[in-house]
Amino acid sequence: MLVETHANLHHADFDDDIAAVITRARLAKITTIVTICCYMDEFVPALAIAQSDPDIWCTIGVHPHHAAKHPDLSVAELVAGAANDKVIGIGETGLDYHYNYSPRDDQIKNLMTHIEAARQTGLPLVLHTREADQDMGEILQRELAFQPFRFVLHSYTSGAELARIGAEAGGYFSVNGISTFKNAHPVRDIIRDIMPDDRIMLETDCPYLAPVPHRGRRNEPAYLPLIRDQLADIKGWNQNDTDQRTNDAFFQLFTKAVRP
């Protein structure tokens, strides 16, 4: 049995067959799914999907791409949404300097709002980082020293130094389909050498980043076992051990979620 820790089931790519997508996930022994909110207009549909199934959960937050569209986002707004029983995390938030769809100052302000919401709710923060390792590392070290919060560096493909900072700070990591890509040797090295064995989780980040052999097609939770198998190979674990470790890590971090 597996936990899909980061999906986008409310994405338009699933509008026509969401029931079939969930059915295929169940057939692939995916028992728990988290659908991730990336901007506030997504929160209601994400919550609706979570409320439709006892083993689907959601988060509340604003992705760094959308930070400039939410200049007035408040801690109170995030905290109020997180009070719902089906909301188990804050985010996805973070820093993305690859596209710079939002100015960097707006992204940092957005991230700080989410950090405070994570502190006030006690819920884990779902962090996205792309080409922003130095700023993310400095913010994590400074803010954790000021007042701790729990977090996951999701879909981790950043560098070794940020991974070390996250690991030393007690952070969790989630591994996605990029780990299966032919040239992703640096990602696999970080998974093997830096990510703590008891703080690794699995995700698809669907509909994006489908693992090999589905690369380039729409991703979905049913492909999670392919990522599990890759993680098992990298770490030298057997399949059952990998399932147990990644599931336990999820429920240790996302304490509001109920085991099925």
Name the band, by pLDDT with cuts 50, 70 and 90, for residue 52. very high
Which residue, chain included where needed, has tokens 């999906």? 7
Average pLDDT over residues 242-251: 98
Find the helix or strand (DSSP H, E) in which 22 lies. helix 18-27
> pLDDT for 145-190, tens place per residue?
999 999 999 999 999 999 999 999 999 999 999 999 999 999 999 9
Specify burial of residue 217 (Cβ count, 10 A radius: 0-12, 13-18, 19+).
exposed
pLDDT in the model for residue 230: 98
pLDDT class of 31 with cuts at 50, 70, 90? very high
- The whole-chain average pLDDT of the chain stands at 97
94 burial (CB, 10 Å; 0-12 / 13-18 / 19+) is buried
Torsion region of 205: left, alpha or beta (phi above 0 gives left; psi -120 to 50 gives alpha): left
pLDDT of residue 48: 97
- 73-84: per-residue pLDDT in tens? 999 999 999 999
What dihedral do alpha carbons 110, 122, 149, 147 form, nearest 10°?
Answer: 90
With vertex at residue 116, the alpha carbon angle to CA 114 and CA 121, rounded to the nearest 5 degrees, is 95
Q: Is 100 left (phi over 0), alpha (psi -120 to 50) or beta?
A: left
Domain residues of the chain, as ranges? Answer: 2-253
Strand, helix or coil at 80?
Answer: helix
Burial 15-42 (b: 16+ CB within 10 A, else e): eeeeeebbeebeebebebbbbbbbbbeb
Share of the chain above pLDDT 70, in %: 100
The mean pLDDT of 68-96, rounded to a whole number, is: 98
Q: What is the pLDDT of residue 77?
A: 98
Strands (E), 44-159: 56-60, 87-96, 125-130, 151-153
Q: Domain 2-253: state its class.
A: alpha beta
pLDDT digits (tens, 9 = 90+) for 5-30: 999 999 999 999 999 999 999 999 99
